[in-house]
Copies of this chain bind each other. A is one copy, B any other.
Amino acid sequence: MAVISRPPPRVRIAESALSNGCQFTRLADFHHWLADVAERTRMDVEQVPLEAMAGWARDPATGNIGHHSGRFFTVEGIDIRYPAHPVTQWTQPIINQGEVGILGILVKEFDGVPHCLMQAKNEPGNVNGLQLSPTVQATRSNYTRVHQGRPVPYLDYFRDAFEDPSTRVLADVRQSEQGAWFYRKRNRNMVVEVFGDVELIDGYCWLTLGQLHELLTVPDLVNMDARTVLSCLPFSGPEVTGTLNAGMGGAFREALVRSCDPDEQGVHDSMEILSWITEIRTRTDVFTEQIPLGALRRWHWADGRISHDTGGFFDVVGVSVEAAGREVGSWAQPMIRPVGMGVIAFLVKRIGGVLHVLTHTRAEPGYADVVELAPTVQCTPETYDLLPPEARPRYLDEVLNADPSRIRFESVLSEEGGRFFHARNRYMVVETDLEAEDPEFRWLTVHQLEDLLRHSYYVNVQARSLSACLLSLVGTAGVTATAGTELLATR
C-alpha cells in the first residue's frame, strides 16, 4: 500500500568489483587514511567528579544537573510505573535533551557509483578515539553556535536541502534514540544526494555503501549515528544474476535479497503489523513521571558520580575533554557509563524462502508512544543477575547458545560517544528454525522494516543499527561469504 503515490528514489546494490572513481579502491587505503587522521587528531578525556565539571551545576532545588547556558541537555530523574514488567516500579536518572539534532549523510555519485561522505570523528565516550560518523552529526546547540565554535561543515546541504534544486532528499525522518537513557530524545535522520561538486575537507572521506557494509564488521568503527542514518536509506535488493554462492551462504543471501523485495509477501501483511503495534501500544501501561534528580530512590551520589545501590545498570559520570580538531578545544560534560556489555540480536528465519526478522514490541520510558520495534534480544545479560529470574529476556539463551554456524553477523559496536561513555554492544544476527511467535514478537521481512523506517518512532535505534548490519550481508552472505563479492552501489 502506497504511503504516497510516487515511489521514493531507491539506492540499488548491485554486485561487481569496485570500480575506479572511489576515494579508496582498497579498504586497506581507507585504514591507512584513518590512521593518518588519528595521528593528527587528539582528544584527552579524563573522568572527573560530577561536582567538578566546568560550566555545569546542580540545581539547588531539584538536584538536576544542567549547563550554565541552559542549553545542551540536563540530567534529571524519572519515575516509571510498569505494572506488567517483572520490576513494576523504579526510578532512574535520565538525559533530557529537548533539542533535535541533524544526523545527515551526503551522497554523491562518482562514475555512476554513489558514495557516502563520512567523517572520522572523535567523541569523548568512544572507547577507541576516532569512529566513522555521518557527514553531519550536530545538535542544535552545535549548529546555532552555542559552543561558540567553528561552523559545522556541510550543514547547509541539510538545512537547505528542502529548497535546493541541486540536491535531492533520499531520506528524512525523525527517530528516537535510547529510550532507557534519553527522555523523548529524537534526531532528524537525513540522506541527501548532491549533484554538484563537493569540497572535501580534511577528516572526511567518500565511501561506497559496499565499503561501509564491510566496515560494519570492524569493532567500534561505524558509529551509532552513521548506522541509524544508513538504516533509513531505502534499499532494494541486488539483481541476482547467477552469481550466488552454492550452499548455505548463497541460500541465506538469496532469502535476504528476497526479503528486501517489496513484491515478496511476508507472513503478516501490512494491516496486521500496524494493528499489532497499535494493539500493544494501547494495552501496555507504562506511566512515566519526570521527577527531580534529587528525588531518586535506590541511587546514590558518591565519589563524584551517581550509581545504583546494587552497582548495576549504569553510572552518571563526569568527563573533562581536551580536543584538537573539533568544534571547541575543551569542555566538560556528564555522561552515562553503562555497566557491562550488551547483546543486541535478531533471530532470523527463512520462511517460504524469504528471510524474516523476529522483532519485539519493547517499552522504554523515553519513547514518544509507549513501544517501538526492537531487536529480538536487547539487554545486558549481567543485569539479570540483579533481577528476578522471570525478568530474563525471551530468546536470550537461544542467542547466547547459538551454534557458531548459525551466526550470520557478529560485531562489537559502540553507542553514541557524545553522551555514553564506553557503551558497547555485541550486535548479532542468528539464524534459527524456531517455530514460536509470542504476542509481543512478530516475524517481519526486511522490506516491511524498511517501510516502517520511513515514519517516526516505529523502529528503535538498536533495531535500526542492526538492520544496517543485516543489510550488509546482502553482499557477503555472512560466515560463508566468498572473497571477491565486494559490493558496488549503483542507482
Contacts and interface: CB of A to CB of B under 8 A. Distances in A.
A188 B368 contact: no
A4 B98 CA distance: 31
A458 B456 CA distance: 10
Interface in A194-248: 234
A3 B451 contact: yes
Contact of A2 (B170, B262, B279, B368): B262
- Identical chains bound together, number: 2
Interface stretch (A264-272, A291-299, A415-423): A264-272
Nearest to A455: B455
A184 to B, nearest CB: 9
A21 to B, nearest CB: 27
Contact of A5 (B3, B264, B278): B264
Contacts of A279: 162, 172
Contacts of A482: none
Interface string A359-374: 0000000001100000
Band of interface residues on A: 35 or more
B266 A4 contact: yes
Interface in A1-23: 1-9
A69 interface: no
B188 A282 contact: yes
Contacts of A9: 271
A146 to B, nearest CB: 14
Contacts of A270: 2-8
A451 B265 contact: no
A278 B172 contact: yes
Given A162-B275, A172-B271, A174-B282, A4 B1 contact: yes
Contacts of A274: 3-4, 172-173, 454-455
A265 B5 CA distance: 6
A119 B44 CA distance: 68
B369 A263 contact: no
A199 to B, nearest CB: 24
Nearest to A7: B1
Given A100-B282, A368-B369, A162 B5 contact: no
A174 B278 contact: yes
Nearest to A290: B290
The 6 closest A-B pairs by CB, nearest first: A4-B270, A6-B269, A172-B275, A8-B271, A1-B7, A3-B451
